[in-house]
Every structure is written in structure tokens, then in C-alpha cells.
Structure 1
């Protein structure tokens, strides 16, 4: 059993408190702290950080899986790197996940926006339709509306960065999923999981169900890989 290290202990406590507090106090933090689309009036720059500490209020499994993965895969990394270095890595991966997720959404929204302009709609008409949370028959309009009004929450992006760093450090560790209980080495399991997220993000077909920010997962994994690879090449010391 891995000992609960200092940084991970506090990250888990903050995540759990922010999950429980809105239920107990009947106070909505999601709208303030979730990561909104930049053109949405609810967007704030702080959300690139705060969304990492928010989880779906309708799914206990969301926070459970993220916190379990943070503990299971992050503990050996914090023991090896030290608290400060681990926290730098964790927040960098989470921030990168939010930025890449937003850039992909921005590209997709602009593509849909320009297509609607070509069909004869004005900018004012489009944004007026964006502010209405209804189901549109026009597929392009519906796609733009979903991007505009959907906010992202969860530590998954940062956790994917942790997963990648764990796989690079302990490539032969055996991992498995509940629905795929056969243990697979981390060096195969983790890239496979990321490719599955990439496939789901590109095609829209998801084995994990709807409402998953696949490109946030891929973004966190990419930033985690770049940092972990750089540190591995330069053999950075612990940051205690």
C-alpha cells in the first residue's frame, strides 16, 4: 500500500472538499470554477487552474477514479521527485490540458461559425442562438452551440500527465482496467489508453460514454510527456 504523500494528500483533500461543499451549502461553484469556452461570458482566466479541482456533481465515480489514479500513480513520482517538483509537474499538465482542450474547441467553433456565415447568418444572429440552450436540427449550429455552452471540469488532464510520467519511469509495471482485467505493462497500456482518447476525440465515438473531454486527456498526456522526457534527459534533482 502506497503511503499518502504530502502533496497528493492536500490535492485530494481540496478536490473532495470542493466536491462536497456545494452539496452541503447548496452553493453553485461549478459555473464559477469550471472551464468555459473563451467566447462565453462566463469564461475567466482563473478557470484554467480551478477546473482541475472541480468534478461532476452528478457522478461520484468521476472524482473517485481521478483521486484513486492520482494516489496510485502519483505517489511514487512524488516520492522520487519531491513535493515541489511533483506539484509543478501536476499543475503544468493540468494547465496544458485546459489550454489544448480550449484550442481544439476554438478551432472547431470557428469552423462551424464560418460555415454558418457562408450560409447567410450574421455574427449577431449566431451568438444570439448560442445563448439559447435548445436542440437545433442544423448539425453545424448544434455543434457550435454545444462547444459554446459546455464547460469542462475534473483533474483528468493533470492525472493523464501523471500516468504518462509513471509509464516512462516504471514501464514494466502491470496495469489493468475493471472491464479489461488482464494486466498489461504500463509502456503498452498507457499509450493505448491515450490513443483511444485521441480516436474518441477525433471521431466522436467514445467507449467511456458522453461528456468526456478527450482532448483534455490528450493535452495533459502530451505536456506530461514533454516535461518528464526533459527531466529524464537532464536528470533533474528533487525539489524538496
Structure 2
């Protein structure tokens, strides 16, 4: 299926696609607001598990991915989004790409909840979603050449394996590096599940457990009914 966009060209990397453009503009706009109101933005819109669980700031697993910790953090994330996200949006179409981006970004944020020792630490940045986009790129275009560190040519599949391995090993470390490696890894995991596992298959174990519970409940009710009938019959026999 072909998709046609009204796109503005930039000097390298191909044309800028609609959803990628909107995400970049949103992140840049939020960053400008951070420059003048950093503390309130971090307090209310970064991802702080304590605030989500204690104060019910349920929007934070969504909003955190639009905040960034500095100009270079923003620049590198948006550059990666442009380089790989535009290609995926052209390949998938805007709706599917946006859905995937949000699923991986929110999924990456939810993975932060697996580390209770960091519940009080704010997490910000689009890196989790970006890692999800990188995974999708490697799975969709495995033979494309990517220059790691702008020097070493690698096929996309191996590039994704390397950064995934780095994210996994880094997530095992207890050192406080200021980088949420568990979110990076989570973005890739949620991306893989989204691409490889059908929604029906994800729900199948839940449905199976629910139907088993209903069956056990029905059997229990039926046994109670039979026992009651048996007691009533015995009572009637005793009266006669």
C-alpha cells in the first residue's frame, strides 16, 4: 500500500513525515517550557512512580516521553527519531506508527516500576520509544547498513542486537548512571511483543483462566444445590 504525504524536505535523511514532525515539534515545545518552568514540569509531567502510585498522577507514563534532560538529550533522541522513525512511518503509515510509538513509550515507562529503589527518581525522555522504533527498523529492514558511532558499518539486525544487549547488561547494573536502561530495554520488549504477538494470543491465558474460574464456580454452585436437595430429601424421609 502506498502512502502519500505533504512533507517538507530537509538536507539529509529523506523527507520528514507527519507524525514524526509533530512529535519533534511537541518535544521541542515542551523543552522550551522546561527552560522557564523546569521544577513544575518535572514534578507533574516526568515519570515518578511514587507520584503515580501515591498521588494518582496517572498521566505521567505518557507525558514523561516529551520531556528531556538537556539540549543534547533532546537533539540525539530527535535525530534518531528522524533517521529511523520517518522510514517506519512511510512503511507502515501514520496511524500504525503513532500507535506503535505510544505503546513502546508507555510500555518503557511502565518497566520503571519494576525497580522500587528508583520510585522517587524522575524519568524523562523519548529514549524508550526510540529504542522501540530502532527494534522495528531492524526487524523490518534487517539488511540495511547502519554506521554505528558514524564509523562501523553494521547490518540493522546486528545493530539492534548490540544496542539491545547493551541495554540488557546495563539494566543489571546497580550503579546510578542517570540513565534509565530498564526503560530502554522495556521499549524494545514492548515493541517486540507488539510486532510478534497477536492481541488475541496475549489475552488467551487471561480468557482461559477466567473460563476455568467460571467452570469451577458453576460446579461449586451445582454441588451446593445437590447437597441441599439431598438434605431436603433426607429431612422429608425422617418426617414420614
Provide TM-score, normalisation by structure 2.
Answer: 0.71
Kindly tell me: are residues 76 and 26 of structure 1, through their superposed partners in 2, closer, same or farther at Cα, counting changes over 3 Å? closer
Cα deviations across residues 19-73 of structure 1 (Å, max 9, x unaligned)?
Answer: 01232467731111000023674661100100010111xx211111110111110
Gaps spanning 5+ residues in structure 2: where?
1-12, 199-240
Equivalent residue, structure 1, for 2:168? 198
Which residues in structure 2 correspond to 1:82-161 (within 5 Å)? 82-102=93-113, 104-105=114-115, 109=116, 144=117, 147-161=118-132
1:186 Cα deviation (Å)? 1.0
Q: For the Cα contact (< 8 Å) 1:36–1:43, is it kept in 2?
A: no
SS at 1:28 equivalent = helix
Question: What is aligned with 2:73?
Answer: 62
Pair 1:87–1:203, CA change in 2 (3 A) = same
Decide which of 171, 191, 198 is 2:142's aligned counterpart: 171
Deviation at 1:203, TM superposition (A): 2.1
Query: Does the residue aligned with 2:119 lie in a helix, a strand or coil?
Result: helix
Task: Supply the distance in 1 between the matched residues of 2:38 and 2:170 (Cα, whole angstroms).
Answer: 35
Query: Displacement, 1:219?
Result: 0.6
- The verdict on how the C-alpha distance between 1:62 and 1:228 changes in structure 2, with shifts beyond 3 A counting, is same
Quote the Cα distance in structure 2 between the aligned partners of 1:25 and 1:211.
21
Cα 1:2/1:42, change in 2 over 3 Å: farther
Name the counterpart of 1:32. 44
Distance change >3 Å, CA 166–CA 212, structure 1 → 2: same
Aligned residue number for residue 26 of structure 2: 14
Give the aligned length: 185
- Report the TM-score, using the length of structure 1 for normalisation: 0.71
What are structure 1's unaligned runs of at least 5 residues?
110-143, 232-240
Q: Distance in 2 between matches of 1:27 and 1:211?
A: 18
Greater shift in the superposed pair: 43-52 or 9-18: 43-52
Alignment partner, residue 5 of structure 1? 17
Q: CA RMSD in A?
A: 2.0
Highest RCO, 1 vs 2 (Cα 8 Å, sep ≥ 6): 1
- Aligned equivalents of 1:219, 1:27: Cα separation in 2: 27
Aligned equivalents of 1:181 and 1:210: distance in 2? 25
Larger helix proportion of the pair: 2
